[in-house]
Amino acid sequence: MKKLENKVAIVTGGARDIGRAVSLKLASEGAKVVVNYFDNKEDAEATQKMIAEMGAESIIVQGDMTKAEDVKRIVEEAMKAYGQDIHVLVNVVGGIVGRKKITEQDEAWYNFLMDVNMKSCWLCTREVVPHMPRGGAIVNFSSLAAKDGGGPGASMYATAKGAVAVFTRSMAKELGPDGIRVNAVAPGTIATSFHDRFNTPENRERMKGIYPLRREGDAADVADLVCFLACDDSDYITGTNIDINGGIFFS
């Protein structure tokens, strides 16, 4: 018996990088996966093809997770395809977007960073919870930056991810009596296009020498942890923000 057999899972930002790895991992354990994407349909179609090749089911749904109407539509599409229950929600959507010192930041920057990282998580949770039965699981994405303040110019990203960590604990308390678990993962440096855009090869090599495990993580490392938190293997774990960073930071 697969660990998520006949469960329905929504993965926001589920078409590429860590989101794709999560979608594939949940599908490999029997979940019917609703893969959300923002603007790259080709990535989403490629992910759906990979899921089909393993004999699993998925649908792809475009949507901006900072918009309430788009979030509602994704939930509606999930129920249209797979029934009224949504068992797993993984809030992957988020990102650093860019780097700016405090004196370079304006209100639009603040609002965008908070929206894409925190508001998206809040909107999706609010919309999915009414359709989540007992035994359901929500997995949010915080970050190492939420714990150490982030790198230069990443203050609003770190702050928003800190908000996700606190929101996770709040929802664990609120939803626990309904049998719904809420946890977060806090990745460090994971080898994805995120770091291809916002880090330098020299810094990444330097950091490898600092990590106790002497390597960057990969998307599959994170997906394995997400799957653990989404399935009954972690039935008595809720309200956690679990570090996955190769040992560079201990909370």
pLDDT in tens, 84-131: 999 999 999 999 988 999 999 999 999 999 999 999 999 999 999 999
pLDDT of residue 194: 66
- The secondary structure of residue 87, as a DSSP letter, is -
Query: Which pTM value belongs to this model?
Result: 0.94
CA dist 90 and 19 (Å) reads 9
pLDDT of residue 198: 63
Q: Say whether 157 is catalytic.
A: yes
pLDDT of residue 204: 75
Name the fold adopted by 8-244. Rossmann fold (3.40.50)
| Ranges in the chain, pLDDT < 50 | none
166 Cβ neighbours under 8 A, 6+ residues apart: none
Exactly one of 110, 157, 211, 236 is catalytic; which is it? 157
Q: What is the layout of strands, in order, in the sheet containing 8-12? A: 58-62, 32-37, 8-12, 88-91, 137-141, 181-187, 241-244
For residues 30 and 6, the answer to whether their CB atoms sit within 8 Å is yes
For residues 97 and 157, the answer to whether their CB atoms sit within 8 Å is yes
Question: In the structure encoding, which two tokens stand for residue 159, read together?
Answer: 């702050």
